[in-house]
Structure 1
């Protein structure tokens, strides 16, 4: 019954993780990922009430990331090409990061509670490690990127390392959500 909800969580994460662009069109826009997560939470609410708390953050993220459908191609840490940095863009980016961290927390906490209720120690430990790792790296990324924009090219290696670790952790969480499709399907 709940397997489709966890499957949608997985695909939602895939849309959020990977940005594939064709010219100026974003093939995998983040807002589609948040729509999938929102629909997953609607399915999973009857499994655990904590998922209800994720609906509003996912709706806010859908709205805030609608702008991502058109890719300008000028925001790249690796190529050092940036649009003019304005306060609105930095505030919006920070808000998206904070809400995204909260949304991932709610999803992980729901899985954690279900794993405890069902005596699934391995899943409980895996989701706890995944959440803590994600929180640490996402917080470091959120606070460090504005500072790294002002450093020389040789310091970009730190941003690249953080981004690679973040990518690995997000893939780990997506795979955990996919595994829940089988272990928490009822």
Structure 2
């Protein structure tokens, strides 16, 4: 049961961390990732209270992520708020905060499980992965500020993209190790 739960968390991270759009449609929609998370949390909930907390924050993310499946491509320069106009801003802020709460509780649930099984390497790594994820999310938000400085903004966004790919691979590897060490 734990192995299946961790596999679902693995797939959830793959979908929420990677975003590829073709003509505005996300071909790896976040909603699929949050549905994987929901299934994984339900299988792991008996192992840590943090998975229960993560599941509660995950429910609104399933709903909010529906709004990000399609984003109209920008036709001209400037800021494109999309179909919801000014309401996109509070929705984006809520999504940002809820996403951090889901992922924080996910990593703390793994941390809790690893402590109970005396897997000190996974305890330390879960804390590191949470800090890395949090910093990447904050850095991504900061890219909206630097976009107004053309050369610096482009370099910053390229750096964030590279870091995001490296962190995604790192988190997916961590989830595989959790499956092997905590999955039984």
TM-score of the alignment, normalized to the shorter chain, above 0.5: yes
1:116-155 matched pairs, under 5 angstroms: 116-142=115-141, 144-155=142-153
Return the offset for 1:84: 4.5
Q: Is the Cα contact below 8 Å between 1:61 and 1:96 reproduced in 2? A: yes
Equivalent residue number for residue 20 of structure 1: 20
Q: Which residue is 2:41 aligned to? A: 41
Query: Does the 8 A contact of 1:148 with 1:155 survive in 2?
Result: yes
Task: Spell out the pairing of 1:2-151 with structure 2 (5 A cutoff).
Answer: 2-74=2-74, 82-84=79-81, 86-142=85-141, 144-151=142-149
Residues 23-61 of structure 1 show CA distances to partners (whole Å, capped at 9, x for unaligned) of 454321101110110111011001222210011211111
Would you identify which runs of 4 or more consecutive aligned residues in structure 1 move more than 6 Å?
A: none
Offset of residue 92 of structure 1: 1.8
Displacement after TM superposition at 1:81 (Å): 7.2
Structure 1 SS opposite 2:67: helix
How many Å apart are 1:82 and its aligned residue?
5.0
Answer whether contact 2:24 2:72 (CA < 8 A) is retained.
Answer: yes
- Give the Cα separation in 2 of the matches to 1:53 and 1:73: 35
Check the 8 A contact 2:143/2:153 in 1, yes or no. Answer: no
The root-mean-square deviation of aligned C-alpha atoms, in Å, is 2.3
Q: TM-score, normalised by structure 1?
A: 0.86
Inter-partner Cα distance in structure 2 for 1:105 and 1:157:
29
**TM-score, length of structure 2 as denominator length:** 0.86
Aligned length in residues? 182
Deviates more, 1:160-169 or 1:44-53: 160-169
Unaligned runs of 5+ in 2: none
Summarize deviations over 1:92-124 as a string: whole Å, max 9, x none: 222212111111110110111111111111111
Answer yes or no: is the 8 Å Cα contact 1:2–1:44 preserved in 2: yes
